[in-house]
Amino acid sequence: MIYLDNSATTPLAPEVIEAFTSYMNTSFGNPSSRHALGLEASKIVSSARAKVAKAIGCGADEVYFTSGGTEGDNIAILGAANIKKGKRIVTTAVEHHAVLNTMKHLESLGFDVVYIKPDKNGQIKLGQIADSITPDTCLVSVMHVNNETGAIFPVDKIKPILSKIAPRALLHVDAVQSFGHIPFKPAQWGIDLASVSSHKIHGPKGIGALYVRKGVALKPTVFGGGQEKNIRSGTENVGAIASFAVATELINFEEAAKVQKIKDKLLNALLTVDGAVQNGGGENESPYILNISFGKVRSEIMLNALSNEGIYVSSGSACASGTRGSHVLEAMEAPLPDSAIRFSLSRYNTLEEADIVIDKLIEIEKGLRR
């Protein structure tokens, strides 16, 4: 098996599996319970919060556990949207559907949402964002790394512009595809809210975190027992939270150089296929994501043929697999969106695997074309 669909989810790290098994077997108490088992669980959650905060680069009191990136995006956007501070919201046309569908809901409530389109390389320029912000803006939500093309957006430079034009507005960043892969510094960059997810960094599914800058007041969207300081009520998933913390301790940015070599090898070889074009290719791209269209073979056919060989890739976002086409490639006006294949890498991939993928894909493409 060669797994190249890490943007959809990553395999669990061995250390995470060990921790998850241990915590689920021995530390199953409810952190809100006042007996010894509950107090032990509460301490585990507190310790994990500090570890995740260290990885994000913020205080432990600025970390709120969620069920993942989708819930984090929803809590941040719905909690920050405030029509009294302004009706305009600025985002991009290539956000994850967790953001885009939340924006559609806000439009139905009377908000004016501006969707910035990328250039042909999938890049969003800072000037586009600046031109879209008005004094009536209450929220800007821009992802850090696009999950289909790997394009890196200039989220580190937005806050000064926002503070000058719409000082009461908040800045939210979906950092699901960047956290743990490339440096992400929300506190230094003036970001108010940021969503991250465990299962993109070799942690368990169903757990993530929302960074909320100290002093930012969010309206709760989930009501219940008041856990996570009323921002996200619900009994904490202690085993998943603790395992997520273990995954953050394994983050190593030096791995990106090795991953970049694998990406470069795939890119250089696969672009020799007749009719192949890269979707993206801008200066700022994540080393972990590569998107190529093989113009003479449709995505589904290529994907299934590779899957039969034990090579697992995707044709776009797994969370939008039931929708028609890629909204990202459509917004980019990509020339061959129906033949796009996304290769997304992790620390566990190798150059030897890349060689196998190249050989198999070229062989399959020739056969399918015939």
Structure tokens at 11: 């395999």
- pLDDT tens, per residue, the chain with 370 residues: 999 999 999 999 999 999 999 998 888 999 999 999 999 999 999 999 999 999 999 999 999 999 999 999 999 999 999 999 999 999 999 999 999 999 999 999 999 999 999 999 999 999 999 999 999 999 999 999 999 999 999 999 999 999 999 999 999 999 999 999 999 999 999 999 999 999 999 999 999 999 999 999 999 988 999 999 999 999 999 999 999 999 999 999 999 999 999 999 999 999 999 999 999 987 899 999 999 999 989 999 999 999 999 999 998 766 555 556 899 999 999 999 999 999 999 999 999 999 999 999 999 999 988 7
One-character DSSP codes across 185-208? -TTTTT-SEEEEEGGGTTS-SS-E
Select which of 17, 319, 362, 368 is catalytic. Answer: 319
DSSP 47: H
Is residue 139 within 8 A of residue 169, CB to CB? The reply is yes
| 319 part of the active site | yes
**Full set of structural domains in the chain with CATH:** 2-10+253-369 (3.90.1150.10), 14-249 (3.40.640.10)
Pairing of strands 289-294, 340-344: antiparallel
What pLDDT is attached to residue 325? 84
The pair of three-digit structure tokens given for residue 324, joined into one six-digit string: 């028609």
Angle CA(364)–CA(366)–CA(370) in degrees, nearest 5? 115
